[in-house]
Amino acid sequence: MDYSEIKSRLRGSITPVITPFKADGAIDFEKMSELIEFQLANGTHGISVTGTSGEPSSLTLEEREQVMEHSFKTINGRVPFVPGTGSTNHDETMRLTKKAEQIGADAAMVIVPYYNKPNQHALYKHFKTVADSVEIPIIIYNIPGRTAQNLHVDTLAQLTKDCPNIIGVKESNKDFEHVNRVLQRCGRDFLLFSGIELLCYPMLAIGGAGSVSATANVLPGKVAEMHDAWFDGDIERAQKLHYELMELNDVLFKDTNPAPVKAALGMMGKIEPHLRLPMDVPSRELQEEIRATLNKYDIALQYV
């Protein structure tokens, strides 16, 4: 199967949309649709759901499938759709990835299993088994800070050699030498996405395809504009936007994602800022800092 067409479309800002909850803990699908429309109206280049920002470990398998189906229908082909389908459980990952293929997602984002810390050989077997079970393109999600295990470049390179549908990686890896080696070993046409907000621009500079940035939930237009400027060759504008976004990036990661993002979206009147335990909203002090930062960006707030 030729994956060149989807590789050409999977570029820029792919927003990892949060999962909105009602006060009783139920998923708010109406707000989910509104959040996706907010993203598309502000130039976002792609949508992801049920990744780290979507609180996947707080959702049942059935709920993850419902969020994927609902989001796919809402997007209706307007931008690429890349749901997160990974889990700490191999069989769950297989089920969710096959579901993404079944509903027509453009690709599936599969995280390095968290908590159980498989070795490199086990990671290879896990990802190869998942990739071999589907034809849908796979983007591996490497986030050592959440999973307590780093997918080595050698392992990723072997996977890309053995599995044609593994077309990219989201690297939430602060080791910039590591991400340079990814493109060196996997090929310059391999899709490298940044999952670290302060590395979104630097990764573009080394040949990255874009970013999957939680900040885009709050300020999608600016994040998309930074990518557009880069791809248009306006390096000065892209660099300016990189530094312009830095303060917002910083405050949104002073507590565990997506708690600050949900607090910000609540202040903006986009959602009710509920998380499922064991996650919860940020402290009152951090909420005040988030509110002050949003004001600096002239973001309209409904709840002040």
Residue 180 has pLDDT above 70, yes or no: yes
Q: Which two tokens stand for residue 274?
A: 């509920």
Residue 304 has pLDDT above 80, yes or no: no
Q: At what angle do helices 120-132 and 153-162 cross, to 10 degrees?
A: 30
**CA terminus-to-terminus distance, the chain:** 52
Residue 146: pLDDT band (50, 70, 90) is confident
Interatomic CA distance for residues 256 and 148, integer angstroms: 15
Between 105 and 303, whose confidence is greater?
105
Q: Is 201 a catalytic residue?
A: no
Whose tokens are 């998923």? That residue is: 27
Neighbours of 82 (CB within 10 A): 29
Residue 10 has pLDDT above 80, yes or no: yes
* Given the residues 141, 201, 262, 270, the one annotated as active site: 141
Q: Is 128 a catalytic residue?
A: no
% of the chain surpassing 90 pLDDT:
95
Are 277 and 247 within 8 A, CB to CB?
no
Q: What is the pLDDT of residue 303?
A: 59
Mapped onto helix, strand or coil, the DSSP state of residue 130 is: helix
- Report pLDDT digits (tens) over 95-131: 999 999 999 999 999 999 999 999 999 999 999 999 9
Q: Which two tokens stand for residue 132?
A: 């071999």
Reading across the β-sheet that carries 191-194, which strands appear in turn?
46-48, 12-16, 210-211, 191-194, 166-171, 138-142, 108-111
Give the angle 249-252-255 at the CA atoms, nearest 5°: 135
Mean pLDDT, residues 167-181: 95
- Report pLDDT digits (tens) over 192-238: 999 999 999 999 999 999 999 999 999 999 999 999 999 999 999 99
Q: Burial level of 115, CB count in 10 A (0-12/13-18/19+)?
A: exposed
Whose tokens are 């064991």? That residue is: 278
Residue 302: pLDDT band (50, 70, 90) is confident
Q: What is the pLDDT of residue 43?
A: 98
Interatomic CA distance for residues 262 and 55, integer angstroms: 11
Q: What is the pLDDT of residue 46?
A: 98
Neighbours of 4 (CB within 10 A): 8
Q: What is the pLDDT of residue 300?
A: 86
Pick the closest to residue 190 from 162, 160, 213 (CA basis).
160
* Given the residues 3, 31, 99, 170, the one annotated as active site: 170
Residue 33: pLDDT band (50, 70, 90) is very high
| Bond from prior residue into 258 cis (ω within 30 degrees of 0) | yes
Mean pLDDT, residues 85-93: 97
Q: What is the pLDDT of residue 226?
A: 98
Strands (E), 152-268: 166-171, 191-194, 210-211
Residue 301 has pLDDT above 80, yes or no: yes
% of the chain surpassing 70 pLDDT:
99
| Bond from prior residue into 278 cis (ω within 30 degrees of 0) | yes
Backbone angles phi, psi at 270, to 5 degrees: -85, -30
- Report pLDDT digits (tens) over 234-268: 999 999 999 999 999 999 999 999 999 999 999 99
